[in-house]
Amino acid sequence: MTAENSLHEAYKDWQKLAEQEGDAIRERDWLRVSDYQNRLKALQPRIIRLTALVRQEWQQMGIDRAPKEADLRRMISGLIEIEKQNSSALTAAKEGAREKLDQLDLARQNLKRVQRTYSPAYLAVWNSFS
């Protein structure tokens, strides 16, 4: 397998992981999201190494790099789009969680007010014996 084929496979792996990450985000499965993000991060050095090898391979073979680079950019653009969608979904989930947390905090404050209003004030029993 050539370095170019390996690079294409690595980008396919990236796409599959990013799509699975998106599914996990929509399902609110944060452990899977974290796992996919870690796997994507681990894939980056491989892609960087393969990209350098591919460029050397093209140079050694005397291949016109412009069309090949354009193909890579198209592939990368597709991956960037998936990552943008995932990022937007994460942001929306985070905002939703923040809103829910704010609502719960407000409910907690209201419950404390109700408790203070309707709870009997306990006088210290020992004060009556002084």
pTM of the model: 0.78
Instruction: Tell me the CB-side half-sphere exposure of residue 128, using CA atoms within 13 A.
Output: 4
The pLDDT of residue 128 is above 80:
no
The pLDDT of residue 121 is above 80:
no
Position 124 scores a pLDDT of: 55
Domain ranges of the chain: 1-92
| Alpha-carbon span 52 to 16, nearest angstrom | 23
CA separation, residue 74 to residues 9, 21, 25, 68, 129 (Å): 15, 21, 25, 10, 86
Radius of gyration in angstroms for the set of CA atoms belonging to the chain, rounded to a whole number: 28
Position 40 scores a pLDDT of: 97
| Alpha-carbon span 24 to 40, nearest angstrom | 14
Mean pLDDT of 8-19: 97
Q: Which residues contact 83 (CB under 8 A, 6 or more apart)?
A: 18
